[in-house]
Amino acid sequence: MDKFLYLQTLKAIRDSIPEGKKADFDLQFGARSKEQAVALVLSVSFGSLGADRFYIDSVGLGLLKLFTCGVFFIFTIIDWFLIMGAARSANIRIAGQIKAMLA
């Protein structure tokens, strides 16, 4: 997911929240959102252990990487290029969950 689409989607989700609950949305999203830079650093440092995938709440892929050493380091290297997009997708999912909770 590219950055423009990511920001546009987050804005659309936030704009659909009632005016009185936008502050609650901002607070909860700020607390639960995943930083893309942190995901990238985890991927480069501990990617073969699945730390990056555990960070973005992708437990299944995290366990796969943990038990197979990042599928023999191939998936680890591929994840260096994919993890920031996966963090953005996780943030969109989190924003949707918060919106549903506040509705």
102 falls within a domain: yes
Residue 56: helix, strand or coil by DSSP?
A: coil
Measured at the CA of 17, the angle between CA 94 and CA 9, to 5 degrees, comes to: 55
Domain count, the chain: 1
Give the per-residue pLDDT at 96: 97
pLDDT tens profile 34-61: 999 999 999 999 999 999 999 999 999 9
22 falls within a domain: no
Q: Are 96 and 103 in contact (CB under 8 A)?
A: no
- Chain position carrying tokens 């990056």: 52
Q: Are 38 and 83 in contact (CB under 8 A)?
A: no
pLDDT tens profile 7-35: 999 999 999 999 999 999 999 999 999 99
18 falls within a domain: no
16 falls within a domain: no
Give the per-residue pLDDT at 103: 82
Segment 75-97 shows an average pLDDT of: 96
Domain span at 65: 35-103
5 falls within a domain: no
78 falls within a domain: yes
